[in-house]
Amino acid sequence: MRRTIAALTGATVAALMVPALVTAAPASAQTAKTAQAAKSDPVSALKRQFRTHRGVKLTENTKIVGAGKKQRAIFTRRNGVLEFGRSGLVASDLTTKFNLPTQDGELKGLFTPSRTISLKGVSYTSGGIFADSMPEGKKWLRGRGDSLSLVSAVQQIISTVEPGTLKATLAHTGARRPGGTWDGTRTTVHSGTITLGELFKVSPSVRAMLGAKPTGRSATLPVTWKIYIGSDQLVRRVVSSYTESTRGLNSTELTYVNDTRYTGWGTKVTVKAPPAGQVADFDELTVGADQPEDPIRELLTN
For the cut 90, the answer to whether the pLDDT of residue 196 exceeds it is yes
Distance CA 141, CA 43 (A): 34
Residue 131, SS3? Answer: helix
Task: Give, as one character, the DSSP assignment of residue 102.
Answer: S
Identify the band that residue 113 occupies on the pLDDT scale cut at 50, 70 and 90: confident
pLDDT in tens, 142-183: 987 644 444 455 678 999 999 999 999 999 999 999 999 999
For the cut 70, the answer to whether the pLDDT of residue 293 exceeds it is no
pLDDT in tens, 173-191: 999 999 999 999 999 999 9
Q: What is the pLDDT of residue 19?
A: 31
Give start-end residues of each CATH 2.50.20.20 domain in the chain. Answer: 42-301
User: 211: alpha, beta or left, given left = phi > 0 and alpha = psi -120 to 50?
Assistant: left
Distance CA 158, CA 148 (A): 14
pLDDT in tens, 52-88: 999 999 999 998 887 655 566 778 899 999 999 999 9
> With contact defined as beta carbons under 8 Å apart, do 214 and 21 qualify?
no
Largest distance between two CA atoms of the chain: 87
The verdict on pTM exceeding 0.95 is no
Segment 285-297 shows an average pLDDT of 60
For the cut 90, the answer to whether the pLDDT of residue 37 exceeds it is no
Distance CA 238, CA 190 (A): 10
pLDDT in tens, 221-266: 999 999 999 999 999 999 999 998 765 545 568 888 999 999 999 9
Which CATH code fits 42-301? 2.50.20.20
| Angle subtended at Cα 257 by Cα 254 and Cα 259, rounded to the nearest 5 degrees | 160
For the cut 60, the answer to whether the pLDDT of residue 292 exceeds it is no
